[in-house]
Amino acid sequence: MYLEKINGPEDVKKLSGGELNILAEEMRSALLQKLSKRGGHFGPNFGFVEATIALHYVFNSPIDKIVYDISHQSYGHKMLTGRKDAFLYEEHYGDVSGFTNPKESEHDFFTVGHTSTSVSLASGLAKARDLKREKGNVIAVIGDGSLSGGEALEGLDFASELESNFIIIVNDNDMSIAENHGGLYKNLKALRESNGECPCNLFKAMSLDYIYVAEGNNIEKLIEAFHQVKDSTHPVVVHINTVKGKGYTFAEKNKEDWHWHMPFNIETGESTRNFTGESYSTLTCDFLMKKMKEDPTVTMITAGIPTSMGFTEDKRKEAGKQFVDVGIAEEHAVAFASGIAANGGKPIFATHSSFIQRTYDQMSQDLCINGNAATLLISTASIYGMSDVTHLGIFDIPLISNIPNMVYLAPTCKEEYLAMLDWSIEQNQHPVAIRIPCNGVISTGANIKFDYSQLNQYEVKQTGNRIAILALGDFYQLGEQVAEAIKIQIGEMPTLINPRYITGIDAKLLESLKANHEAVITLEDGILDGGFGEKIARFYGSSDMKVYNYGFRKEFIDRYKVEEVLKANRLTPEQIVEDVVINR
């Protein structure tokens, strides 16, 4: 086996053409084994095996620097840069992360997990190289799906200004996570169909030099192309046409399902883990499909991740013009939603907590200054969300809740979520964001009639004494546990409150608590800094009320275990009782 002997790019360079092809098959085989057991990004990695080999064959990493966009296609790179064991041996599967990471290897230059960043990041490496009067190639790899993102387009536009060596590999597999959306993809198609000869060329329109490689899974052709651009003295795009999921029939056939895949049976392609029961994505999709049928102005918008809200291909088709996937373009999505609302439509834009970060200015300027009634659904906004450092869901409260005019709601159960969603779609006064619970679908059976237009009215779920607990969103159930634990400890039931609104204070209620409470506990599933609890601490700052804020420390955590993070932040009921009751 060749792969076993690859300890770095220098070992790739020793192989002959035929051996490189065998190496490619070995890499695919290792990927297939590992991903079938652990899950992960499938399609992009399978499609980029040959290009990875060719890159390391032609260039001299780490003197030549390769930056992978979003790094969904970097597993092969990891295999060839001293990290093969993490793909060959099950006991080492956990040794590497799913993204590039400078702490893992000198061949990785950035920790990357969001799309559309490679061209800008790599252009900075190139600029520093030039300032230091050093040599070497800088290579940005970017997938076609990532090209629609504003940062990528800004970077492409800027690249020609470098006027020095800079190589952009466009890995075009004619797919985003789902199908591509946007006019530029017709240009990529025209380029593919004309063997790169089509005179109208997005990259040339950005003043970049350009070459095309039709056989993007042919190592020999790729080596030839990379040799051609190596040591180029000006920026150049190498547009390569690859097959997403290449080499595994199921993945080649159903590219969307196999972009990322959970563990599966290699023979049948069937998932070995099955999630049954309700999820907030199917609940949301079902609810919105119904709303769309009742009202032709209800429009669901996603930005490249339609299935994360249950909008599979058939649902998208069924929704027709009332479903819009804008591609990876969150900024556009929010401004577009604001425009729809301004003209009397009812837009809903859904994305992950980590990706809503890409559109702060649009939330503030395009949406909230204008007070347009669009609905934003924020998913995986929780410590129970994605645990990679680049996809954390614990920063959206400071991000969203401090924008004036925004109403950010935190439902505590399924019924409350749907009531809030329904209200938000039907009202026309406020920009609204809803923080979808992430601790499983908890159904209380409640029949909720509350009018959420009465902003910032908290709900007292249980009236008690001495201590009041403000338990926000999906930490409400933790609040129930804390209440129980306190009751056991002090023999008296504390007050339990569902704040409902992240964006405002129920001053009247908080004021009234002073009469028979000495302490308030706040619980939130996000970082404490800039969050909900601090607003409560400010409110009570000059009073005698003691305030205990619980949430997470402001830090980037990576591949964590939820239970450990909760403990480290003193977020178990026992720890809270200890702090607030026993040791106070």
Other CB atoms closer than 10 Å to residue 19's CB: what's the count?
Answer: 12
Other CB atoms closer than 10 Å to residue 171's CB: what's the count?
Answer: 24
Could you give phi then psi for residue 578, rounded to 5 degrees? -60, -50
DSSP class of residue 494 equals P
| Cis-peptide into 437, omega within 30 deg | no
We find the least distance from the C-beta atom of residue 84 to a copy of itself, in angstroms, to be: 25
We find the least distance from the C-beta atom of residue 355 to a copy of itself, in angstroms, to be: 8
Mark residues 41-60: x for contact with a copy of itself by CB under 8 A, - for none.
--------------------
CB-CB contact of 531 with 538 (8 Å): no
Look-up of token digits 């979520």 = 417
Of the candidate residues 16, 18, 132, 277, the single one contacting a copy of itself (CB under 8 A): 132
E runs forming strands in 263-311? 298-302
**CA R_g for the chain:** 26
Distance of alpha carbon 516 from alpha carbon 513, whole angstroms: 6
Q: How many residues does the chain have?
A: 584
Q: Which is nearer to a copy of itself, 151 or 506 (CB)?
A: 151
Q: Which is nearer to a copy of itself, 172 or 534 (CB)?
A: 534
We find the least distance from the C-beta atom of residue 108 to a copy of itself, in angstroms, to be: 11
Q: Which is nearer to a copy of itself, 174 or 278 (CB)?
A: 174
Mark residues 184-223: x for contact with a copy of itself by CB under 8 A, - for none.
x-xx-----------xxxx-xxxxx---------------
Could you give phi then psi for residue 517, rounded to 5 degrees? -130, 145
Other CB atoms closer than 10 Å to residue 365's CB: what's the count?
Answer: 14
Of the candidate residues 181, 315, 500, 517, the single one contacting a copy of itself (CB under 8 A): 181
Distance of alpha carbon 385 from alpha carbon 306, whole angstroms: 17
Q: Which is nearer to a copy of itself, 370 or 465 (CB)?
A: 370
We find the least distance from the C-beta atom of residue 369 to a copy of itself, in angstroms, to be: 5
Binding to a copy of itself by residue 89, rule CB under 8 A? no
Q: Which is nearer to a copy of itself, 52 or 111 (CB)?
A: 111
We find the least distance from the C-beta atom of residue 556 to a copy of itself, in angstroms, to be: 5
We find the least distance from the C-beta atom of residue 326 to a copy of itself, in angstroms, to be: 5
Q: Which is nearer to a copy of itself, 273 or 321 (CB)?
A: 321
Binding to a copy of itself by residue 124, rule CB under 8 A? yes
We find the least distance from the C-beta atom of residue 324 to a copy of itself, in angstroms, to be: 7
We find the least distance from the C-beta atom of residue 331 to a copy of itself, in angstroms, to be: 4
Binding to a copy of itself by residue 524, rule CB under 8 A? no
Of the candidate residues 62, 269, 530, 573, the single one contacting a copy of itself (CB under 8 A): 530
| Structure-block tokens of residue 572 | 């178990």
Q: Which is nearer to a copy of itself, 344 or 445 (CB)?
A: 344
The secondary element (H helix, E strand) that includes residue 517 is strand 517-527
We find the least distance from the C-beta atom of residue 297 to a copy of itself, in angstroms, to be: 5
Of the candidate residues 14, 253, 559, 584, the single one contacting a copy of itself (CB under 8 A): 584
We find the least distance from the C-beta atom of residue 270 to a copy of itself, in angstroms, to be: 34
Size, binding site for a copy of itself by CB under 8 A: 119
Torsion 45-50-54-60 (CA) sign: positive
Point out which span in 43-51, 178-186, 311-319, 470-478 binds a copy of itself (CB under 8 A): 178-186
What ranges in 194-273 are assigned the alpha helix state H?
A: 202-205, 219-229, 249-253
| Structure-block tokens of residue 557 | 């955590």
| Structure-block tokens of residue 449 | 């009639």
Nearest C-alpha neighbor of 298 from the set 333, 337, 355? 337
Q: Which is nearer to a copy of itself, 184 or 441 (CB)?
A: 184
The secondary element (H helix, E strand) that includes residue 418 is helix 414-426
Distance of alpha carbon 104 from alpha carbon 108, whole angstroms: 7
Query: Which 384-413 residues touch a copy of itself, going by CB under 8 A?
Result: 389-390, 395, 398-399, 401-405
Point out which span in 38-46, 71-79, 445-453, 535-543 binds a copy of itself (CB under 8 A): 535-543
Mark residues 145-174: x for contact with a copy of itself by CB under 8 A, - for none.
---xxxx-xxxxxxxxx-------------
Q: Which is nearer to a copy of itself, 83 or 346 (CB)?
A: 346
Query: Which 541-570 residues touch a copy of itself, going by CB under 8 A?
Result: 541-543, 546-549, 554-556
Query: Which 419-448 residues touch a copy of itself, going by CB under 8 A?
Result: none
Query: Which 311-370 residues touch a copy of itself, going by CB under 8 A?
Result: 321-322, 324, 326-327, 329, 331-332, 335-345, 347, 357-358, 360-362, 364-366, 368-370
We find the least distance from the C-beta atom of residue 567 to a copy of itself, in angstroms, to be: 19
Q: Which is nearer to a copy of itself, 37 or 234 (CB)?
A: 234
Look-up of token digits 């932040």 = 569
Q: Which is nearer to a copy of itself, 258 or 548 (CB)?
A: 548
Binding to a copy of itself by residue 519, rule CB under 8 A? yes
Output the CA torsion 59→63→64→69 (10° steps).
Answer: 120
CB-CB contact of 150 with 136 (8 Å): no
CB-CB contact of 143 with 44 (8 Å): yes
The CA distances from residue 544 to 432, 462, 514, 516, 517, in Å, are 34, 23, 8, 12, 10
DSSP class of residue 393 equals S
The C-alpha angle with vertex 400 and arms to 395 and 405, in degrees rounded to 5, equals 165
CB-CB contact of 50 with 79 (8 Å): no
